[in-house]
């Protein structure tokens, strides 16, 4: 098998952050990168962001001091239930996903330019259901009694060199180049009627452009555009329940979507900042029918496989509202709310690849001393339950399944300004 060649520095840096899988909550996207953004519900497009502008609005990189380095991580704790049609509830096994972030930014001398670089997790999904009833309503008692596992891990990390330019005292523009690494593996009843796939991976490139305009002392507005990332998963392995192993496995039709964000921030008082973002995420063009193809079996006469997953996700519209209050010169508190309709369509709902939560409440704080900032945020994604109401068939094996999903996320980061 041939491996794609990209510069060794990019490979080494991204590999430090893999495998990273998280239950991202605007589809497969994090609602915000870093504790400041997360504490405000992801409302960060028109808000000064320091290093985390590498993953947000790149125009905000110009608000950094001379130099700043930020290190942090989110810890995500998903909680899920799956109830097959006619079967019993199964809880997701305990999972904790670390989602780290590291970034460095600085102003370039006395010029109008700022630059930075960072590595962050864009998002992903992951489930682990064990002993799920495979066919609970099958008339054959032996078939109806079969239990097996459902598991998936999807991770996507990005290396992001970023530049920003102060066009004027009011207008700032910025751009990020995203070099991404994605990985995926999953189990679909691997011991009874299905298969398991491992080691699928892909490198991809995309970009983000952002602007920020300070209207006056109270109002600022911003916008970003992120191009889609075509992900060509390859070099995987597939093993069937009967033990046939395929050494050349690919996955086509999986794309990380383009996104448009608009944001506004209002300085209501010298101590109170309010912000709101509106986002459009083009999942309908990114996730349609995902097809796994497998060839090069280790058993003579075994046929190549083509396995479609009809997903047909909808576009997602996200509203993020946040507030920040300066209690003292060294202590700020935040709160936020984020809503994004689930992109998963009920006719294709799958417990392996769900992204169901819609409503999120967040809170956080920053404590500063000398040149240091400690940021913390907590996110709670409220339970959402959906049922697959599509017609049963080979392309919809989970017809009638009911899936519930909630999640708690803790964000911590430390920044040093110098």
- Model confidence pLDDT, tens digit, residues 217-228: 999 999 999 999
| Contact indicator for 210, 41 with CB cutoff of 8 Å | no
93-121 tens-digit pLDDT: 888 888 889 999 999 988 999 999 999 88
How many C-beta neighbours within 10 Å does residue 194 have?
18
Question: How many Å apart are CA 96 and CA 82, to the nearest integer?
Answer: 19
Domain 8-417 - what CATH class?
mainly beta
183: confidence class by pLDDT, cuts 50, 70, 90: very high
Angle at 170 between CA 167 and CA 173, to 5 degrees: 45
Reply yes or no: is the peptide bond before residue 293 cis, omega within 30 of 0. Answer: no
Length of the chain: 418
Nearest Cα residue to 71 out of 120, 22, 23: 120
Place of tokens 């984020």: 338
12: confidence class by pLDDT, cuts 50, 70, 90: very low
pLDDT, position 171: 96
Distances (CA, A) of 73 to 37, 120, 206, 366, 399: 13, 9, 23, 15, 37
Residues 6+ apart with CB under 8 A from 206: 178, 180, 226, 227, 228, 229, 256
49-89 tens-digit pLDDT: 888 888 899 999 987 778 999 999 999 898 999 999 888 89
306-354 tens-digit pLDDT: 998 888 999 999 999 999 999 999 999 999 999 999 999 999 898 988 8
**For the chain, which residues make up each domain, given as ranges?**
8-417
| Contact indicator for 67, 116 with CB cutoff of 8 Å | no
Q: Give the phi and the psi of residue 99 in degrees, each rounded to 5.
A: -130, 85
- What percent of the chain has a predicted confidence (pLDDT) above 90? 68
């Amino acid at each position: 098998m041939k491996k794609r060649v990209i510069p060794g520095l990019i490979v080494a840096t991204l590999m430090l952050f893999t495998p990273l899988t998280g239950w991202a909550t605007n589809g497969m996207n994090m609602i915000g990168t870093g504790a400041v953004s997360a504490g405000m519900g992801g409302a960060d497009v028109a808000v000064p962001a320091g290093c985390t502008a590498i993953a947000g609005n790149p125009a905000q990189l110009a608000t950094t001091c001379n130099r700043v380095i930020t290190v942090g991580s989110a810890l995500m704790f998903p909680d899920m239930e799956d109830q097959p049609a006619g079967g019993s509830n199964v809880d997701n096994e305990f999972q904790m996903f670390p989602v780290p972030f590291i970034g460095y930014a600085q102003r370039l001398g006395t010029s109008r330019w700022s630059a930075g670089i960072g590595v962050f997790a864009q998002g992903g999904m992951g489930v682990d259901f064990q002993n799920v009833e495979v066919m609970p309503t099958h008339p054959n008692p032996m078939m109806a009694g079969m239990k097996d596992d459902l598991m998936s891990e999807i991770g996507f990390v990005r290396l992001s060199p970023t530049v920003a330019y102060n066009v004027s005292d009011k207008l700032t523009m910025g751009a990020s180049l995203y070099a991404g690494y994605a990985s995926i593996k999953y189990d679909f009843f691997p011991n009874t009627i299905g298969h398991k796939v491992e080691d699928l991976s892909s490198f991809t490139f995309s970009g983000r452009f952002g602007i920020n305009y300070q209207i006056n002392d109270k109002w600022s507005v911003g916008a970003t555009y992120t191009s889609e990332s075509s992900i060509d998963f390859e070099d995987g392995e597939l093993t069937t329940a009967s033990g046939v192993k395929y050494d050349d496995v690919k996955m086509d039709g999986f794309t990380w979507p383009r996104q448009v964000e608009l944001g506004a921030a209002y300085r209501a008082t010298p101590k109170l900042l309010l912000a709101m973002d509106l986002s459009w995420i083009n999942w309908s063009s990114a996730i349609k029918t995902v097809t796994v193809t497998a060839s090069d079996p280790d058993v003579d006469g075994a046929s190549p496989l083509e396995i479609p997953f009809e997903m047909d996700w909808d576009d997602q519209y996200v509203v993020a509202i946040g507030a920040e209050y300066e209690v003292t010169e060294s202590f700020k508190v935040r709160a936020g709310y984020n809503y994004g309709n689930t992109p998963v369509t009920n006719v294709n709902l799958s417990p392996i690849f769900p992204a169901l939560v819609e409503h999120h409440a967040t809170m956080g704080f920053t404590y500063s001393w000398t040149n240091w900032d400690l940021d913390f945020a907590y996110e709670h994604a409220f339970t959402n339950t959906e049922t697959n109401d599509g017609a049963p068939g080979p392309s919809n094996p989970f017809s009638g399944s009911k899936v519930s999903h909630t999640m708690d996320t803790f964000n911590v980061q430390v920044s040093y300004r110098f």
